[in-house]
Structure 1
Amino acid sequence: MTIRFRSLALPLMLGALTFAPIAQAVDASLTTQPTYRYQLIDTFEVKGRQGVASDGNYYYVSGSKALYKYDKNGKLLLANETPFDGYPIPANHIGGIDVFNGEIFVSAENFMDGVGKDIQIAIHDAETLKLKRSFSFEPSSGQQEVSGICVDTDKRTVWMVSWVGEESGRYIYEYSLDTGKYLRKVHLQAVPQWIQGIHYWKGKLFVTADDGNADFDEPDNLYRIDVTDKTYAHVVREKIFSEVKRQGEIEAGGVDPKTGELLILFNRGSRIVLGMVKGFYPGYDREISEVYRFRMTPYADKATKAKAKK
């Protein structure tokens, strides 16, 4: 059915309506601007392909089935290529990692062709890379896979993220560092795609997202999450990783607490389908995993800039 209005009818009808302004609460503390500038320092190749973290003295790297310890010149010092020994829940895959107070926090699971199960947080000794203890995730959280983990050293909580599943990218999940108790999940707005890692630095959470298509040489991104006590959190794109040697797959990273440098692990050369290596791009016969180091310079706030002008 088609409804037609005579020429005078519509203006008369609109004139009878009252239009009220739409009220929208805006948090004045939120910003759409990045917190830091990022300048590439250098890169170095590593054996692991999942994530990198630092305690200020060493670099720790996770492979899908291994843990590695490097000195700060990029020299391999120690490897644990049987990291699942002693796990109370069988696992076959490690994602991103973090290191805090002499312990490596490992995001572990059983993973195959894009499907994860039996998620757990495994805690390894940073000196020996051996397992110390672990605790499982809370199924009622809705999390279906784990791709990264970090420690909020100020609140003493642990955060996990997921790469696939119905809630992939939409939520981050918080646990107590001291008890392992599940605390809550936080809804991300807007939602990053294909989250690979999470790290905490100076009151903020950051996530790496494999949201660029390597087939078209699209770069991946870093996002900042402004977490509060609300059930949702504001998300801002911090950086576009256009500097990498060949666009591939971004993984998890962290900040060196002594230097303030951002560390991000990237893989290049391999084609990734549902999280699994399925052949290589032209010119490559192996996958290359590299840690990229970036100098982080805070953006000056308005007050600082105004003071500098005086």
Structure 2
Amino acid sequence: MKTKPLSLIIALAFCSFSAVASANQCDSPYNQTAPKYSYQLKKTFEVDGRQGITTDGNFYYVSGSATLSKYDLQGNLLVSNKTPFEGYKIPANHIGDIDVYNNEIYVSSEWFMDGVGKDIQIAVHDAETLKLKRTFPFNPDSGQQEVSAITVDKVNNSIWMASWVGEESGRYLYEYDLETGKYKRKVHLQPVPQWIQGIVAYQGDIYLTADDGTADDKEADNLYRVKIDNNKTNAPVVLERSFDDFKDYGEIEGVAVNPKTHELLVHSNRGKQIVLGMPKGFYPGYDREISEVYVYGMEPVCKKK
């Protein structure tokens, strides 16, 4: 039997090592702390509503502070509810980010004024008419003092809420049972994002938009990824993307993922100065606030073979 040349042995060993390294790359500790996707801007469209965005893959649903609207996938307005709080048992004046599940719109609502929220409640609206179907209150024992966003987590059969202000602002996500509405627990985010505005559960991860860039200083806002472990009280937070490709610096809001196209949808406002969560005036060059949805293609950074 002939002996293989040393160079061939080294080459074969390198190829074998590369194959193993490639197979394990997606599960490496580094990949768990790095962005999961790359994002390519595909289009933007203007909407009537400055708070939230969600989609079931057939329609877009948008929330304003006191409105709910439904659009087709070309961005044409189909239905609008200008009095969404009709039928609420507890008075409300503010809607945050929203989500859609089983032809129902899940709304995070509260009474909000000058940076202070109270009377948090989860409202469920019909996705066809946008009218209220039912509500259930949050659990004050959770410590949550304000709500900025809500999402339905189909993997864990849960509802998650986030807060923008308050003593626990950004430190926790709050989990409720999807079927009963019963409060389950809160999860400590580490490190803590600042000024959470949007939330969406997608394929076992939770994504958060944070208004942590200062528009006056021309700082971009960011997207974060959270990996929830049902056996842990805390969860690691990874910087997923900075939105330095927005048309102008402003205030990021809701976030969603199209379940059919797997596109990321990000809601953002520009033009108005915001003080304690309240619009106060216009930036130079603007005479109105512009609310837009940015649509991004999502490509996995690490592709398992």
Decide: shared fold, TM above 0.5: yes
| AA aligned opposite 2:71 | Y
Instruction: Point out where structure 1 has 5 or more consecutive residues left out of the alignment.
Output: 1-26, 305-310
The offset of 1:255, in angstroms, is: 0.4
Query: Which digits, 9 at most, give the CA deviation of each residue in 1:227-265, with x for residues without a partner?
Result: 102000000000000110001000011001111000010
Q: Which runs of 4+ in 1 moved over 2 A?
A: 27-30
Mapped to 1, the partners of 2:183 and 2:67 lie a distance apart of 27
| AA aligned opposite 1:264 | V
Instruction: Point out where structure 2 has 5 or more consecutive residues left out of the alignment.
Output: 1-27
Mapped to 1, the partners of 2:229 and 2:71 lie a distance apart of 35
1:128-277 equivalences in 2 (<5 Å): 128-229=129-230, 230-277=232-279
Mapped to 1, the partners of 2:29 and 2:195 lie a distance apart of 29
Mapped to 1, the partners of 2:198 and 2:148 lie a distance apart of 6
The offset of 1:197, in angstroms, is: 1.0
Q: How many residues align?
A: 277
Mapped to 2, the partners of 1:139 and 1:269 lie a distance apart of 35
Residues 30 and 234 in structure 1, CA contact (< 8 A), matched pair in contact too: no
Mapped to 2, the partners of 1:29 and 1:273 lie a distance apart of 38
Equivalent residue, structure 2, for 1:76: 77
The offset of 1:156, in angstroms, is: 1.1
| AA aligned opposite 1:76 | L
Q: Matched residue of 1:85: which SS?
A: coil
Q: Matched residue of 2:216: which SS?
A: helix
Pairing 1:126–2:127 present: yes
The offset of 1:59, in angstroms, is: 0.0
Mapped to 2, the partners of 1:92 and 1:51 lie a distance apart of 15
The offset of 1:212, in angstroms, is: 0.2
Residues 150 and 200 in structure 1, CA contact (< 8 A), matched pair in contact too: yes
Q: Which has the larger radius of gyration?
A: 1
| AA aligned opposite 1:268 | R
| AA aligned opposite 1:261 | E
Residues 176 and 182 in structure 1, CA contact (< 8 A), matched pair in contact too: yes
Query: Which digits, 9 at most, give the CA deviation of each residue in 1:110-157, with x for residues without a partner?
Result: 000000000000000001100000100000000000000000012110
Mapped to 2, the partners of 1:52 and 1:130 lie a distance apart of 17
Equivalent residue, structure 2, for 1:4: none
1:275-294 equivalences in 2 (<5 Å): 275-294=277-296
Mapped to 2, the partners of 1:186 and 1:86 lie a distance apart of 32
CA root-mean-square deviation: 1.2
Mapped to 1, the partners of 2:46 and 2:274 lie a distance apart of 19
Query: Which digits, 9 at most, give the CA deviation of each residue in 1:32-64, with x for residues without a partner?
Result: 111100000010000000010000100000000
Mapped to 1, the partners of 2:155 and 2:234 lie a distance apart of 20
| AA aligned opposite 2:55 | S
Mapped to 2, the partners of 1:219 and 1:300 lie a distance apart of 25
Mapped to 1, the partners of 2:89 and 2:212 lie a distance apart of 34
Pairing 1:45–2:68 present: no
TM-score (norm 2): 0.89
Paired residue for 1:298, among 289, 300, 304?
300
The offset of 1:299, in angstroms, is: 1.4
Q: Matched residue of 1:122: which SS?
A: strand
Q: Matched residue of 2:133: which SS?
A: strand
Mapped to 2, the partners of 1:274 and 1:222 lie a distance apart of 21
TM-score (norm 1): 0.88
The offset of 1:300, in angstroms, is: 1.7
Mapped to 2, the partners of 1:124 and 1:261 lie a distance apart of 24
Mapped to 2, the partners of 1:127 and 1:152 lie a distance apart of 22
